[in-house]
Amino acid sequence: MDKTLKMKVTVFVAVLFFILGTGGYMAIEGWGILDSAYMTAITLSTVGFLEVHDLSDGGRLFTILLIFTGVGYFLYMGGVFISSVVDGEIKRMLGRQRLDNKIKKLNNHYIVCGYGRIGRVLCKFVAEDTKDLVVVEQSEELKETLEQDKIHYIIGDAGDEDVLEKAGIKRARAIVAVLATDTANVFLVLTARQLNPDIYIMARASNPMVRKKFYVAGANQVESPYDIGGVSMGLKLLRPTVSNFLDTALSRQSDAIQIEEAFVPETSDYVGKQLKDSGIRQNYNLIIIAIKEKSGHMEFAPHFETIIHPRDTLIVMGKTADLTAFRRALGNS
């Protein structure tokens, strides 16, 4: 039986016992409702006060019956309530322990600090690609939302070194600062860079004037939601067809076409090959849109004689299944 239903049934039966007890004394002894209710209460609660009136033989027999049935049931009801509280607390503790153990096993994962409007949208997008994601959120009120979204989470201050270490910052691939204020995000960036000098840090800047402070603090990338939103609206206004194409290609909602990046490991069989000889187009029906070299230089619409170098990042467009197969052949998991 469902726990909530079990509690409701238990309370209903207890109220029924009280009503029957009160009615029994009224019928057998002829007492008023207050005296009968009082007698029922002290009997079921085993308080042991004297009877409000002398009992007849019938009243004594009814009291004995009420004690053996009602008192026993009320003791059972108390056990149900205590069991429910203890069981819920134990499950909560075990659930938290299991979650902490899962987080400890994560490696090369993403940490998102802040689960507000932007943080939640960001996490949903990342979760479509990987479940290796941990959210650090200070508000206890968002715990239920995080559990509903099935996100690994830690409730705590993202600026606290102990909290970040619990989130696995020294093993993480990247951390995103999307806290409520720029001040909190700058402090988070400073703390994260100190704990892991090699981690990739992205931060949200509400005020464009503080971008420089984020970079000085150690951020790799600083984004303003307002700037991004404005550019997106402008693109939809001036070039709606291009905007619709990009929305489809960059989303995870359609298998018709996707744009992904594929890293070229040094041990890949594609290293040293020209694009025309790689078989990427013929075997996987993919289009190479651009190549980002190890130096950071981006070559758009690369020539068919362009050579693939180790540690290049290929920007590839095609169907989801073909992209997955190519990344696997390239040497990416």
| CATH code of the domain containing 123 | 3.40.50.720
Mark which of 41, 73, 101 sits at the end of a domain.
101
Residue 44 CA to its chain's centroid (Å)? 47
Q: What pLDDT was estimated at residue 246? A: 78
* Cα dihedral: 198, 204, 210, 212 (round 10): 30
Region of poorest pLDDT, from 46-55, 88-97, 257-266: 88-97
> Is residue 88's pLDDT more than 60?
no
Residue 234 included in any domain: no
Same domain, 112 and 88: no
Cα distances (angstroms) measured from residue 160 to each of 86, 190, 220: 31, 11, 21
243 domain residue, yes or no: no
- Give me the pLDDT at residue 182, please: 93
pLDDT tens column, 302-316: 999 999 999 999 999
Tokens of 127: 């979760």
pLDDT of residue 83: 67
Do 112 and 92 belong together in one domain?
no
Q: Is residue 273 part of a domain?
A: yes
Please indicate, yes or no, whether residues 65 and 10 belong to a single structural domain of this protein.
Answer: yes
Residue 21 structural domain: 3-101
| pLDDT tens digit sequence for 165-211 | 999 999 999 999 999 999 999 999 999 999 999 999 999 998 878 88
263 closest CA partner among 326, 171, 175: 326
Buried-state track 255-275, b at ≥16 Cβ within 10 A, e below 16:
eebbbbebebeeebebbeeeb
What is the pLDDT averaged over residues 58-83? 76
Q: Which two tokens stand for residue 3?
A: 């726990």
| Structural domain includes residue 241 | no
Percentage of the chain exceeding pLDDT 90: 39
Between CA 169 and CA 158 the distance in angstroms is 11
Compute how many other C-beta atoms are within 10 angstroms of the C-beta atom of residue 209: 9
**pLDDT digits over 217-257, tens only?**
999 999 988 887 788 888 888 888 888 877 777 776 666 68
Tokens 């070559």 map to which residue? 299
d(CA 246, CA 239): 11
Give the model's pLDDT for residue 94.
61
- Does any domain span residue 235? no
SS3 string, 18-68, reads: HHHHHHHHHHHHCCCHHHHHHHHHHHHCCCCCCCCCCCCHHHHHHHHHHHH
pLDDT tens-digit map of 36-48? 888 888 887 776 6
Do 261 and 301 have their domain in common?
yes
Of the three residues 73, 101, 129, the one that is the final residue of a domain is 101
Residue 248 lies in a domain: no
The answer to the question of residue 67 being in a domain is: yes
Q: Both 303 and 321 in a single domain?
A: yes
Instruction: Note whether residue 31 is domain-resident.
Output: yes
Domain total in the chain: 3
Give the C-alpha separation, 214 to 219, whole Å: 6
Q: Which of 84-93, 103-112, 133-142, 235-244 has the lowest mean pLDDT?
A: 84-93
Looking at the structure, do residues 76 and 122 belong to the same domain, yes or no? no
pLDDT-derived band of residue 157, with 50, 70 and 90 as boundaries? very high
Same-domain check for residues 111 and 187: yes
Q: Domain containing 32 — which CATH number?
A: 1.10.287.70
CATH number of the domain enclosing 282: 3.30.70.1450
Distance in angstroms (rounded) separating the CA atoms of residues 207 and 209: 5
Average pLDDT of the residues of the chain: 85
162: confidence class by pLDDT, cuts 50, 70, 90? very high
Q: What would the pLDDT profile of 267-303 be if each residue is shown by its tens digit?
A: 888 999 999 999 998 899 999 999 999 888 999 989 9
24 and 89 share one domain: yes
User: What is the model's pLDDT at position 313?
Assistant: 93
Of 101, 117, 148, which residue is a domain's last?
A: 101
Same domain, yes or no: 138 and 218 = yes
User: Which tokens is 322 given?
Assistant: 């073909």
Same domain, 133 and 216: yes
Whether pTM exceeds 0.95: no
**Residues 120 and 202 grouped into a single domain:** yes
112 with 224, same domain: the answer is yes
